[in-house]
Structure 1
Amino acid sequence: MKQTLSLFLTVLILSDVLAQSGSAPSTSVRAPLRRSESFFGLHFDFHAGAGDLNIGQTLTEGRIDSLLTLVKPDFIQVDCKGHPGISSYPSRVPTTTSAQSFIKNPLQLFRDVTRRHGVALYVHYSGVFDQAAARKFPQWAVVNADGQRNPDKMSVHSAYVDSLLIPQLKEIADYGVDGVWVDGECWATEPDYSPQALAAFRARTGLQTRPISPNDPTYESFRNFARQSFIDYVGHYTDALHRYNPQFQVCSNWAFSSMMPEPVTIDVDFLSGDLTPGNSVNSAVLMARVMASQSRFYQKPYDLMAWGFYHSFTPPGSSGDPKTALQLQQEAAEIMAMGGGVQSYFLQNRDASISRQDWPVMAELARFIRARQPYCQYTIAVPQIAVLYSSASFRKYNRRLYDGGRDAGVLGITTALMDAQYPTEILMEHHLHGNMKRYGLIVIPEWPYLTDAFQKELLDYVQGGGNLLVIGAGATRNFWTELGVIPAGPARKKTTWVSVDGQVTTLSDSIQTVQLPPGGSALITAFADQYVKTSEGALATSRQLGKGTITGLYANIGRDYIRHQAPNLRRLVAGLVKPLFPNPIVEISGTNLVHVAVNRLHKQLAVNLINTGGRHANEEVFTYDEVPPLQAIKVRLRLDRKPGRIVQQPENKVLPFSYSHGVCTLTVPELAVHSILVVVN
Structure 2
Amino acid sequence: MKTWQRPKWLHKANVLELTHGGIRDDSFIGYLKRLRPTAVNLLGTSHDGVMNYPTKIGPSHDADTCEKTLGRIRQAKSLGIKIISQHSGVGNTAAGDAHPEWIRIEQNGEPSSDKFAGCPMCLTSPYAAEWFLPQVDEMTGEYGADALWVDGDCWYLWPCYCDRCVARFKEETGLEPPRLLREQVGMTAPTPFGRLEDVRTDPPPPETVIAWRKWMAFHRKIFRAFQKSAADVCHKNNAAYASNWSYTYVNPDPVPEWVDWLTGDTPEFENTGAWCASLKARFDTTQGCPHDVMTWDQVSHNPWSKPSFQTYPKGRDQLLQEVSSAIANGAIWYNWTSRHNPVGCLEAADFVHQRGDMLRGTESLAEIALLHTTTSFYVHSEGFMQFKPGNRPVWGGHRALLYGGRHHDIVNEVNFAQRMNRYRLVILAGQTHLDDATRARLREFVEQGGRLLIAGRSGLGDGNRQTLADLLGLEVECKIESELKPCVKVAPEIVDEAPVDDPNVICALGMDIDLIRVKPAGAEVVLANLEPVSGSMANRVTGWLAPESFRESDTPLLTRNRFGKGEAWYLAAGVFGHYERIHYFGLRRFILSVIDQIVPDPRFLTEADGPVELSVRYQQSSGATFCHLVNIAVEAVNISLETQYERAVPRGPVTLKVRMLRPPKTVILEPGGRAADYCFAHGVLTVKVPGVKIMETVAIRD
The interval holding the TM-score normalised by the smaller chain is 0.7 to 0.9
Q: 2:225 aligns with which of 229, 232, 237?
A: 232
Deviations 1:634-669 (Å, cap 9, x if unpaired)? Answer: 221111211111011014212132222321122112
Q: Give the Cα–Cα distance (whole angstroms) in 2 for the partners of residues 595 and 446 of structure 1.
A: 23
Match of 1:578 in 2: 596
Mean alpha-carbon deviation: is it higher for 486-495 or for 229-238?
486-495
Match of 2:152 in 1: 184
Match of 1:301 in 2: 290
Tell me if the contact between 1:387 and 1:443 (Cα under 8 Å) persists in the aligned partners.
yes
Match of 2:445 in 1: 461
Match of 2:69 in 1: 107
Q: 1:436 aligns with which of 409, 420, 424?
A: 420
Q: Give the Cα–Cα distance (whole angstroms) in 1 for the partners of residues 128 and 227 of structure 2.
A: 9
Cα 1:332/1:526, change in 2 over 3 Å: farther
Are 1:631 and 2:635 counterparts? no
Q: Give the Cα–Cα distance (whole angstroms) in 2 for the partners of residues 180 and 458 of structure 1.
A: 38
> Amino acid of the residue matched to residue 440 of structure 2?
K
Are 1:127 and 2:97 counterparts? no
Q: 2:673 aligns with which of 643, 648, 652?
A: 652
Q: 1:283 aligns with which of 276, 279, 282?
A: 276
Q: 2:161 aligns with which of 189, 193, 203?
A: 193
Q: What does 1:65-144 align with in structure 2 at a 5 Å threshold? A: 65-78=29-42, 80-93=44-57, 96-99=58-61, 102=64, 104-144=66-106
Deviations 1:430-473 (Å, cap 9, x if unpaired)? Answer: 00114323210011111111112211221222122210001223
Tell me if the contact between 2:486 and 2:514 (Cα under 8 Å) persists in the aligned partners.
no
Q: 1:362 aligns with which of 336, 345, 365?
A: 345
CA apart distance, 1:224 = 1.3
Are 1:314 and 2:314 counterparts? no
> Amino acid of the residue matched to residue 158 of structure 1?
S
Cα 1:62/1:45, change in 2 over 3 Å: closer
Cα 1:335/1:417, change in 2 over 3 Å: same
Q: What does 1:389-538 align with in structure 2 at a 5 Å threshold? A: 389-405=372-388, 406-476=390-460, 478-487=467-476, 490-491=479-480, 496=485, 498-499=487-488, 500-501=490-491, 502=505, 504-517=507-520, 521-523=525-527, 525=529, 528=537, 529-530=540-541, 531=545, 532-533=549-550, 537-538=555-556
Are 1:373 and 2:356 counterparts? yes
CA apart distance, 1:148 = 1.9
Mean alpha-carbon deviation: is it higher for 361-370 or for 576-585?
576-585
Q: What does 1:563-602 align with in structure 2 at a 5 Å threshold? A: 563-602=581-620
Q: Give the Cα–Cα distance (whole angstroms) in 1 for the partners of residues 253 and 482 of structure 2.
A: 30
Match of 1:175 in 2: 143
CA apart distance, 1:583 = 1.9
Cα 1:231/1:550, change in 2 over 3 Å: same
CA apart distance, 1:257 = 0.8
Q: 2:15 aligns with which of 40, 47, 52?
A: 40
> Amino acid of the residue matched to residue 322 of structure 1?
P
CA apart distance, 1:313 = 2.0
CA apart distance, 1:474 = 4.8
> Amino acid of the residue matched to residue 491 of structure 1?
I
Cα 1:678/1:490, change in 2 over 3 Å: same
CA apart distance, 1:134 = 2.0
Are 1:613 and 2:633 counterparts? yes
Q: Give the Cα–Cα distance (whole angstroms) in 2 for the partners of residues 647 and 618 of structure 1.
A: 37
Deviations 1:6-27 (Å, cap 9, x if unpaired)? Answer: xxxxxxxxxxxxxxxxxxxxxx
Cα 1:266/1:435, change in 2 over 3 Å: closer
Are 1:222 and 2:215 counterparts? yes
Helix, strand or coil: the match of 1:190?
coil
Helix, strand or coil: the match of 1:630?
coil
> Amino acid of the residue matched to residue 53 of structure 2?
Y
Tell me if the contact between 2:608 and 2:651 (Cα under 8 Å) persists in the aligned partners.
no
Q: Give the Cα–Cα distance (whole angstroms) in 1 for the partners of residues 53 and 700 of structure 2.
A: 50
CA apart distance, 1:526 = 5.4
Tell me if the contact between 1:59 and 1:106 (Cα under 8 Å) persists in the aligned partners.
no
Mean alpha-carbon deviation: is it higher for 616-625 or for 593-602?
616-625
Cα 1:494/1:88, change in 2 over 3 Å: farther
Mean alpha-carbon deviation: is it higher for 418-427 or for 211-220?
211-220
Cα 1:257/1:195, change in 2 over 3 Å: same
Tell me if the contact between 2:393 and 2:578 (Cα under 8 Å) persists in the aligned partners.
no
Match of 1:54 in 2: none
Cα 1:588/1:145, change in 2 over 3 Å: same
Helix, strand or coil: the match of 1:468?
strand
Q: Give the Cα–Cα distance (whole angstroms) in 2 for the partners of residues 629 and 400 of structure 1.
A: 42
Structure 2: runs of 5 or more not aligned: 1-6, 114-118, 181-203, 461-465, 492-504, 532-536
Q: Give the Cα–Cα distance (whole angstroms) in 1 for the partners of residues 303 and 655 of structure 2.
A: 41
Are 1:666 and 2:687 counterparts? yes
Cα 1:320/1:190, change in 2 over 3 Å: same
Q: Give the Cα–Cα distance (whole angstroms) in 2 for the partners of residues 495 and 364 of structure 1.
A: 53
Q: Give the Cα–Cα distance (whole angstroms) in 1 for the partners of residues 146 and 275 of structure 2.
A: 31
Cα 1:70/1:505, change in 2 over 3 Å: farther
Tell me if the contact between 2:358 and 2:626 (Cα under 8 Å) persists in the aligned partners.
yes
Cα 1:637/1:474, change in 2 over 3 Å: closer
Q: Give the Cα–Cα distance (whole angstroms) in 1 for the partners of residues 671 and 528 of structure 2.
A: 43
Match of 1:325 in 2: 316
> Amino acid of the residue matched to residue 90 of structure 1?
P
Mean alpha-carbon deviation: is it higher for 572-581 or for 534-543?
534-543
Match of 1:157 in 2: 124
Deviations 1:610-640 (Å, cap 9, x if unpaired)? Answer: 1111148898642222223222222211112
Q: Give the Cα–Cα distance (whole angstroms) in 1 for the partners of residues 637 and 442 of structure 2.
A: 33
Match of 1:336 in 2: 327
Match of 1:20 in 2: none
Cα 1:558/1:175, change in 2 over 3 Å: same
CA apart distance, 1:171 = 2.1
Tell me if the contact between 1:166 and 1:241 (Cα under 8 Å) persists in the aligned partners.
no
Tell me if the contact between 1:90 and 1:102 (Cα under 8 Å) persists in the aligned partners.
no
Tell me if the contact between 2:527 and 2:559 (Cα under 8 Å) persists in the aligned partners.
yes
CA apart distance, 1:605 = 1.2
Match of 2:109 in 1: 147
Tell me if the contact between 1:85 and 1:133 (Cα under 8 Å) persists in the aligned partners.
yes
Q: Give the Cα–Cα distance (whole angstroms) in 2 for the partners of residues 164 and 250 of structure 1.
A: 18
Deviations 1:523-543 (Å, cap 9, x if unpaired)? Answer: 252552344446674332222
Tell me if the contact between 2:329 and 2:364 (Cα under 8 Å) persists in the aligned partners.
yes
Deviations 1:134-188 (Å, cap 9, x if unpaired)? Answer: 2321222222222222242111211111111111122222223222210000111
Match of 1:545 in 2: 563
Q: Give the Cα–Cα distance (whole angstroms) in 2 for the partners of residues 78 and 561 of structure 1.
A: 41
Percent identical across equivalent pairs?
A: 22
Q: Give the Cα–Cα distance (whole angstroms) in 1 for the partners of residues 23 and 685 of structure 2.
A: 56
Cα 1:88/1:524, change in 2 over 3 Å: farther
Helix, strand or coil: the match of 2:652?
strand
Helix, strand or coil: the match of 1:142?
coil
Match of 2:195 in 1: none
Structure 1: runs of 5 or more not aligned: 1-31, 47-57, 348-354
The two structures, once aligned, show a CA RMSD in angstroms of 2.7
Mean alpha-carbon deviation: is it higher for 234-243 or for 531-540?
531-540
